[in-house]
Amino acid sequence: MRLEALELRLLRLPLVTPFRTAAGVQSDREVLLLRAVTSVGDGWSECAALAEPTYTAEYVDGARDVIVRHLLPLLAAVELRGGDVASLLAPVKGHRMAKCALELAVLDAELRSAEQSLASFLGATRDAVDPGVSVGMSSTTDELLEQVAAYVDAGYRRVKLKIAPRHDIEPLRAVREAFGDALLLQADANGAYADDVDAAAAALAALDDLELLLIEQPLGDDDLTGHAELARRIATPICLDESIESLGDLDTALALGACSVVNLKPGRVGGYVEAVRIHDRCVDEGVGLWCGGMLESGIGRAANLALAALPGFTLPPDLSASDRYYRLDVTPPFVLDGGRLHVPKGAGIGVTPDPSALEELTISTEVVQVQA
Protein backbone atom coordinates (compact mmCIF):
# COMPACT_ATOMS: atom_id res chain seq x y z
CA MET A 1 0.00 0.00 0.00
CA ARG A 2 1.30 3.46 -0.94
CA LEU A 3 0.25 6.78 0.56
CA GLU A 4 -0.65 9.14 -2.29
CA ALA A 5 -2.08 12.22 -0.56
CA LEU A 6 -3.27 13.48 2.80
CA GLU A 7 -6.25 15.73 3.42
CA LEU A 8 -6.14 17.78 6.64
CA ARG A 9 -9.53 19.18 7.56
CA LEU A 10 -10.07 21.54 10.50
CA LEU A 11 -13.56 21.59 12.03
CA ARG A 12 -15.19 23.58 14.81
CA LEU A 13 -17.83 21.69 16.81
CA PRO A 14 -19.83 23.72 19.39
CA LEU A 15 -20.26 21.83 22.66
CA VAL A 16 -23.74 21.12 23.99
CA THR A 17 -22.58 22.14 27.47
CA PRO A 18 -19.53 24.35 28.08
CA PHE A 19 -16.89 22.35 29.93
CA ARG A 20 -15.45 24.09 33.00
CA THR A 21 -12.11 23.03 34.48
CA ALA A 22 -9.48 24.76 36.61
CA ALA A 23 -7.92 26.01 33.34
CA GLY A 24 -11.09 27.78 32.17
CA VAL A 25 -14.29 27.23 30.20
CA GLN A 26 -14.34 25.45 26.85
CA SER A 27 -17.41 26.16 24.68
CA ASP A 28 -16.37 24.48 21.44
CA ARG A 29 -13.83 21.97 20.15
CA GLU A 30 -11.51 22.43 17.21
CA VAL A 31 -11.05 19.03 15.59
CA LEU A 32 -8.39 18.06 13.06
CA LEU A 33 -9.46 15.20 10.80
CA LEU A 34 -7.10 13.39 8.44
CA ARG A 35 -8.05 11.51 5.28
CA ALA A 36 -5.29 9.30 3.94
CA VAL A 37 -5.59 8.71 0.19
CA THR A 38 -3.81 5.43 -0.57
CA SER A 39 -3.40 2.96 -3.40
CA VAL A 40 -6.01 0.70 -1.76
CA GLY A 41 -8.55 3.32 -0.73
CA ASP A 42 -9.10 6.09 1.81
CA GLY A 43 -8.71 6.05 5.57
CA TRP A 44 -9.91 8.50 8.23
CA SER A 45 -8.60 9.56 11.62
CA GLU A 46 -8.80 12.34 14.19
CA CYS A 47 -5.96 14.14 15.97
CA ALA A 48 -6.61 14.38 19.71
CA ALA A 49 -4.70 17.65 20.17
CA LEU A 50 -6.60 20.60 21.65
CA ALA A 51 -6.60 24.11 20.20
CA GLU A 52 -4.24 25.29 22.97
CA PRO A 53 -1.31 23.41 24.59
CA THR A 54 -3.06 23.06 27.95
CA TYR A 55 -3.30 19.26 28.22
CA THR A 56 0.06 18.37 26.69
CA ALA A 57 2.54 20.48 24.71
CA GLU A 58 0.71 19.58 21.49
CA TYR A 59 -1.95 21.77 19.91
CA VAL A 60 -3.94 21.66 16.67
CA ASP A 61 -1.95 24.13 14.57
CA GLY A 62 1.33 22.60 15.70
CA ALA A 63 0.07 19.12 14.87
CA ARG A 64 -0.88 20.22 11.36
CA ASP A 65 2.55 21.72 10.83
CA VAL A 66 4.55 18.75 12.09
CA ILE A 67 2.42 16.30 10.10
CA VAL A 68 2.95 18.17 6.83
CA ARG A 69 6.56 19.25 7.26
CA HIS A 70 8.12 16.40 9.19
CA LEU A 71 5.99 13.25 9.49
CA LEU A 72 4.41 12.90 6.08
CA PRO A 73 7.75 12.88 4.19
CA LEU A 74 8.80 9.84 6.24
CA LEU A 75 5.94 7.85 4.69
CA ALA A 76 6.65 8.83 1.08
CA ALA A 77 7.83 6.20 -1.40
CA VAL A 78 7.39 3.47 1.24
CA GLU A 79 5.31 0.32 1.01
CA LEU A 80 3.15 0.83 4.08
CA ARG A 81 1.57 -1.36 6.69
CA GLY A 82 -0.41 0.37 9.39
CA GLY A 83 1.34 -1.51 12.16
CA ASP A 84 4.72 -0.17 10.98
CA VAL A 85 3.85 3.54 10.88
CA ALA A 86 5.00 4.25 14.44
CA SER A 87 8.49 2.90 13.78
CA LEU A 88 8.74 4.87 10.51
CA LEU A 89 7.85 8.07 12.36
CA ALA A 90 10.24 7.41 15.27
CA PRO A 91 13.03 9.74 13.99
CA VAL A 92 10.78 12.70 14.90
CA LYS A 93 10.82 13.21 18.67
CA GLY A 94 7.56 13.65 20.55
CA HIS A 95 4.42 14.88 18.75
CA ARG A 96 2.59 11.73 19.77
CA MET A 97 -0.91 12.94 18.96
CA ALA A 98 0.14 13.89 15.44
CA LYS A 99 1.80 10.50 15.00
CA CYS A 100 -1.27 8.68 16.32
CA ALA A 101 -3.51 10.46 13.83
CA LEU A 102 -1.28 9.56 10.91
CA GLU A 103 -0.95 5.94 12.06
CA LEU A 104 -4.73 5.55 12.40
CA ALA A 105 -5.49 7.08 8.99
CA VAL A 106 -3.14 4.57 7.34
CA LEU A 107 -4.49 1.70 9.46
CA ASP A 108 -8.07 2.61 8.59
CA ALA A 109 -7.32 2.54 4.85
CA GLU A 110 -5.51 -0.79 5.16
CA LEU A 111 -8.21 -2.43 7.27
CA ARG A 112 -11.04 -1.18 5.07
CA SER A 113 -9.36 -2.72 2.04
CA ALA A 114 -8.98 -6.00 3.96
CA GLU A 115 -12.57 -5.80 5.26
CA GLN A 116 -11.31 -6.12 8.85
CA SER A 117 -12.49 -4.00 11.75
CA LEU A 118 -10.09 -2.01 13.90
CA ALA A 119 -11.57 -3.75 16.93
CA SER A 120 -10.59 -7.14 15.52
CA PHE A 121 -7.12 -5.90 14.57
CA LEU A 122 -6.47 -4.59 18.08
CA GLY A 123 -7.77 -7.72 19.81
CA ALA A 124 -11.14 -6.58 21.16
CA THR A 125 -13.23 -9.20 22.92
CA ARG A 126 -16.46 -7.23 23.53
CA ASP A 127 -19.04 -5.76 21.18
CA ALA A 128 -20.14 -3.03 23.61
CA VAL A 129 -18.72 -1.08 26.54
CA ASP A 130 -20.26 0.46 29.67
CA PRO A 131 -19.31 4.14 29.38
CA GLY A 132 -18.72 6.76 32.03
CA VAL A 133 -19.15 10.50 31.84
CA SER A 134 -16.86 13.35 32.85
CA VAL A 135 -18.42 16.38 34.55
CA GLY A 136 -16.67 19.74 34.69
CA MET A 137 -16.66 22.06 37.68
CA SER A 138 -20.07 23.56 38.45
CA SER A 139 -20.87 26.99 39.85
CA THR A 140 -23.17 25.57 42.53
CA THR A 141 -23.81 22.22 44.20
CA ASP A 142 -27.41 22.22 42.96
CA GLU A 143 -26.20 22.67 39.38
CA LEU A 144 -23.75 19.80 39.81
CA LEU A 145 -26.35 17.44 41.27
CA GLU A 146 -28.74 18.32 38.43
CA GLN A 147 -26.10 17.41 35.84
CA VAL A 148 -25.18 14.15 37.54
CA ALA A 149 -28.84 13.15 37.93
CA ALA A 150 -29.40 13.67 34.21
CA TYR A 151 -26.44 11.45 33.33
CA VAL A 152 -27.47 8.74 35.78
CA ASP A 153 -31.01 8.79 34.39
CA ALA A 154 -29.56 8.48 30.87
CA GLY A 155 -27.83 5.25 31.88
CA TYR A 156 -24.23 6.23 32.67
CA ARG A 157 -22.74 3.90 35.25
CA ARG A 158 -19.73 5.94 36.30
CA VAL A 159 -19.29 9.67 36.92
CA LYS A 160 -15.98 11.54 37.03
CA LEU A 161 -15.77 14.97 38.63
CA LYS A 162 -13.07 17.53 37.90
CA ILE A 163 -11.50 18.73 41.16
CA ALA A 164 -8.94 21.26 42.36
CA PRO A 165 -7.77 22.59 45.75
CA ARG A 166 -10.75 24.00 47.68
CA HIS A 167 -13.06 22.47 45.08
CA ASP A 168 -12.87 18.81 45.99
CA ILE A 169 -14.39 17.43 49.18
CA GLU A 170 -17.68 19.36 49.02
CA PRO A 171 -18.79 18.47 45.46
CA LEU A 172 -17.64 14.86 45.77
CA ARG A 173 -19.36 14.39 49.12
CA ALA A 174 -22.54 16.00 47.80
CA VAL A 175 -22.66 13.58 44.85
CA ARG A 176 -21.87 10.57 47.04
CA GLU A 177 -24.59 11.48 49.55
CA ALA A 178 -27.15 12.19 46.83
CA PHE A 179 -26.57 9.04 44.76
CA GLY A 180 -25.21 6.54 47.27
CA ASP A 181 -22.55 3.88 47.02
CA ALA A 182 -24.09 2.29 43.92
CA LEU A 183 -22.74 5.10 41.75
CA LEU A 184 -19.17 4.53 40.54
CA LEU A 185 -17.48 7.83 41.34
CA GLN A 186 -14.00 9.10 40.61
CA ALA A 187 -12.11 12.41 40.62
CA ASP A 188 -9.76 14.03 38.10
CA ALA A 189 -7.36 16.74 39.27
CA ASN A 190 -5.41 17.33 36.02
CA GLY A 191 -2.31 18.06 38.10
CA ALA A 192 -4.00 20.76 40.19
CA TYR A 193 -2.27 19.69 43.45
CA ALA A 194 1.23 19.93 41.99
CA ASP A 195 2.65 22.59 44.32
CA ASP A 196 3.07 20.56 47.51
CA VAL A 197 2.89 16.80 48.14
CA ASP A 198 2.23 17.34 51.85
CA ALA A 199 -0.68 19.67 51.14
CA ALA A 200 -1.99 17.29 48.47
CA ALA A 201 -1.85 14.35 50.89
CA ALA A 202 -3.72 16.30 53.55
CA ALA A 203 -6.43 17.42 51.12
CA LEU A 204 -6.87 14.13 49.28
CA ALA A 205 -6.78 11.89 52.38
CA ALA A 206 -10.03 13.63 53.33
CA LEU A 207 -11.61 11.90 50.31
CA ASP A 208 -10.73 8.38 51.43
CA ASP A 209 -14.06 7.74 53.16
CA LEU A 210 -15.98 8.49 49.95
CA GLU A 211 -14.89 5.18 48.41
CA LEU A 212 -13.87 6.68 45.07
CA LEU A 213 -12.73 4.39 42.29
CA LEU A 214 -9.61 6.54 41.95
CA ILE A 215 -8.07 10.00 41.96
CA GLU A 216 -6.63 10.83 38.56
CA GLN A 217 -3.39 12.77 38.04
CA PRO A 218 -3.30 14.77 41.28
CA LEU A 219 0.29 16.03 40.75
CA GLY A 220 2.30 17.28 37.79
CA ASP A 221 2.88 15.01 34.81
CA ASP A 222 6.64 14.85 35.47
CA ASP A 223 6.34 14.06 39.19
CA LEU A 224 6.35 10.28 39.42
CA THR A 225 8.22 10.28 42.75
CA GLY A 226 5.64 12.66 44.20
CA HIS A 227 2.82 10.40 43.04
CA ALA A 228 4.59 7.43 44.64
CA GLU A 229 4.84 9.33 47.94
CA LEU A 230 1.20 10.38 47.70
CA ALA A 231 0.10 6.80 46.97
CA ARG A 232 1.70 5.72 50.26
CA ARG A 233 -0.20 8.37 52.21
CA ILE A 234 -3.77 8.05 50.95
CA ALA A 235 -6.04 5.03 50.62
CA THR A 236 -7.79 6.01 47.37
CA PRO A 237 -6.03 4.50 44.33
CA ILE A 238 -3.90 6.86 42.25
CA CYS A 239 -4.50 6.86 38.49
CA LEU A 240 -2.01 8.40 36.08
CA ASP A 241 -3.00 10.12 32.86
CA GLU A 242 -0.65 12.82 31.54
CA SER A 243 2.37 11.11 33.15
CA ILE A 244 2.10 8.02 30.92
CA GLU A 245 3.24 8.76 27.36
CA SER A 246 4.87 5.41 26.57
CA LEU A 247 5.39 1.87 27.77
CA GLY A 248 8.67 3.05 29.33
CA ASP A 249 6.81 5.68 31.37
CA LEU A 250 4.43 3.00 32.62
CA ASP A 251 7.27 0.70 33.65
CA THR A 252 8.94 3.53 35.59
CA ALA A 253 5.69 4.48 37.32
CA LEU A 254 5.03 0.88 38.36
CA ALA A 255 8.59 0.41 39.61
CA LEU A 256 8.18 3.49 41.83
CA GLY A 257 4.70 2.54 43.02
CA ALA A 258 3.32 5.78 41.57
CA CYS A 259 -0.02 4.36 40.46
CA SER A 260 -2.29 1.34 40.50
CA VAL A 261 -4.60 2.50 37.67
CA VAL A 262 -3.89 3.99 34.23
CA ASN A 263 -6.04 6.21 32.02
CA LEU A 264 -4.94 5.18 28.51
CA LYS A 265 -5.45 7.63 25.66
CA PRO A 266 -4.00 6.45 22.34
CA GLY A 267 -3.19 9.98 21.17
CA ARG A 268 -1.17 10.67 24.30
CA VAL A 269 0.98 7.54 23.85
CA GLY A 270 1.59 7.95 20.12
CA GLY A 271 -0.85 5.51 18.58
CA TYR A 272 -3.03 2.44 18.87
CA VAL A 273 -0.15 -0.01 18.43
CA GLU A 274 1.63 1.49 21.46
CA ALA A 275 -1.67 1.60 23.33
CA VAL A 276 -2.06 -2.16 22.89
CA ARG A 277 1.48 -2.69 24.25
CA ILE A 278 0.58 -0.64 27.33
CA HIS A 279 -2.70 -2.53 27.68
CA ASP A 280 -0.85 -5.83 27.63
CA ARG A 281 1.62 -4.69 30.28
CA CYS A 282 -1.21 -3.52 32.53
CA VAL A 283 -2.84 -6.93 32.18
CA ASP A 284 0.43 -8.68 33.04
CA GLU A 285 0.96 -6.45 36.11
CA GLY A 286 -2.64 -6.47 37.35
CA VAL A 287 -3.00 -2.71 36.84
CA GLY A 288 -6.47 -1.19 36.55
CA LEU A 289 -7.10 0.32 33.12
CA TRP A 290 -9.63 2.51 31.37
CA CYS A 291 -9.79 4.42 28.10
CA GLY A 292 -9.88 8.19 28.38
CA GLY A 293 -11.43 10.67 25.99
CA MET A 294 -10.54 14.08 24.54
CA LEU A 295 -14.02 15.30 23.52
CA GLU A 296 -13.55 13.49 20.21
CA SER A 297 -15.93 13.61 17.30
CA GLY A 298 -17.47 10.37 16.06
CA ILE A 299 -14.27 9.54 14.15
CA GLY A 300 -12.10 9.50 17.25
CA ARG A 301 -14.82 7.96 19.39
CA ALA A 302 -15.23 5.02 17.02
CA ALA A 303 -11.52 4.19 17.21
CA ASN A 304 -11.42 4.58 20.99
CA LEU A 305 -14.41 2.29 21.43
CA ALA A 306 -12.52 -0.38 19.49
CA LEU A 307 -9.62 -0.01 21.91
CA ALA A 308 -11.83 0.10 25.02
CA ALA A 309 -13.30 -3.28 24.03
CA LEU A 310 -9.99 -5.04 24.76
CA PRO A 311 -10.16 -7.40 27.77
CA GLY A 312 -7.75 -5.48 30.00
CA PHE A 313 -9.95 -2.39 30.23
CA THR A 314 -11.49 -3.07 33.62
CA LEU A 315 -13.09 0.32 34.34
CA PRO A 316 -15.71 2.35 32.39
CA PRO A 317 -14.19 4.61 29.71
CA ASP A 318 -14.68 8.35 29.16
CA LEU A 319 -16.45 7.64 25.85
CA SER A 320 -19.91 9.07 26.21
CA ALA A 321 -22.71 9.21 23.64
CA SER A 322 -22.46 11.86 20.92
CA ASP A 323 -25.26 13.99 22.42
CA ARG A 324 -23.21 14.40 25.60
CA TYR A 325 -20.90 16.62 23.55
CA TYR A 326 -22.33 17.75 20.21
CA ARG A 327 -25.71 18.50 18.68
CA LEU A 328 -24.13 17.85 15.27
CA ASP A 329 -21.38 15.27 14.97
CA VAL A 330 -19.38 14.43 11.85
CA THR A 331 -20.64 10.83 11.85
CA PRO A 332 -23.98 9.25 12.65
CA PRO A 333 -24.35 9.72 16.42
CA PHE A 334 -23.28 7.15 18.98
CA VAL A 335 -26.21 6.52 21.33
CA LEU A 336 -26.58 4.69 24.62
CA ASP A 337 -28.39 1.37 24.33
CA GLY A 338 -29.32 0.06 27.75
CA GLY A 339 -26.50 2.10 29.24
CA ARG A 340 -23.94 0.74 26.76
CA LEU A 341 -22.17 1.96 23.63
CA HIS A 342 -21.75 -0.48 20.76
CA VAL A 343 -18.35 -0.96 19.18
CA PRO A 344 -18.47 -0.34 15.41
CA LYS A 345 -18.37 -3.63 13.49
CA GLY A 346 -17.63 -2.31 10.02
CA ALA A 347 -14.27 -2.40 8.27
CA GLY A 348 -11.60 -0.07 9.62
CA ILE A 349 -12.88 2.27 12.29
CA GLY A 350 -16.38 1.36 11.14
CA VAL A 351 -17.70 4.88 10.46
CA THR A 352 -17.25 7.57 7.81
CA PRO A 353 -17.99 11.29 8.01
CA ASP A 354 -21.33 12.59 6.80
CA PRO A 355 -20.65 14.94 3.83
CA SER A 356 -23.26 17.52 4.84
CA ALA A 357 -21.97 17.63 8.42
CA LEU A 358 -18.42 18.00 7.15
CA GLU A 359 -19.44 20.92 4.96
CA GLU A 360 -21.24 22.67 7.80
CA LEU A 361 -18.49 22.20 10.39
CA THR A 362 -15.33 22.66 8.32
CA ILE A 363 -13.19 25.76 8.86
CA SER A 364 -10.41 24.92 6.42
CA THR A 365 -9.12 22.10 4.23
CA GLU A 366 -5.64 21.36 2.94
CA VAL A 367 -4.62 18.53 0.62
CA VAL A 368 -0.96 17.57 0.49
CA GLN A 369 0.32 15.33 -2.30
CA VAL A 370 2.85 12.74 -1.20
CA GLN A 371 5.90 12.79 -3.42
CA ALA A 372 7.01 9.35 -4.58
The CATH architecture one would assign to domain 3-115+354-369 is 2-Layer Sandwich (3.30)
Q: What is the pLDDT of residue 26?
A: 74
**In which residue ranges of the chain is pLDDT below 70?**
19-24, 372
Q: Where in the chain is the domain with CATH 3.30.390.10?
A: 3-115+354-369
120-342 has which fold?
TIM Barrel (3.20.20)
Q: What is the pLDDT of residue 139?
A: 84
At 27 the pLDDT is: 83
Q: Find, among 159, 241, 236, 174, the residue nearest to 204 by Cα.
A: 236
What is residue 371's predicted lDDT score, i.e. its pLDDT?
A: 74
Residues of the chain with CATH 3.20.20.120: 120-342
The CA-atom distances, in angstroms, between 286 and each of 280, 283, 314, 315 are 10, 5, 10, 13
Angle between helices 298-308 and 272-285 (to 10 degrees): 30
162 is a catalytic site residue: yes
| Alpha-carbon gap, residue 16 to 117, rounded angstroms | 30
Cβ atoms of 25 and 51 within 8 Å: the answer is no
Q: Which of 93, 99, 265, 345 is catalytic?
A: 265
Angle at 322 between CA 318 and CA 324, to 5 degrees: 70
- d(CA 95, CA 251) in angstroms, rounded, equals 21
**What is the three-class DSSP state of 87?**
helix
99, 160, 162, 345: the active-site residue? 162
Model pLDDT, residue 20: 61
What pLDDT is stored for residue 19 in this prediction?
66
Quote the pLDDT of residue 115: 98
Catalytic residue list contains 265: yes
Helical residues (DSSP H) of 155-192, grouped into ranges: 169-179
The torsion defined by the Cα of 49, 55, 58 and 64, in degrees rounded to 10, comes to: 20
CB 186 within 8 A of CB 200: no
Query: For residues 101 and 43, is the Cβ–Cβ distance under 8 A?
Result: no
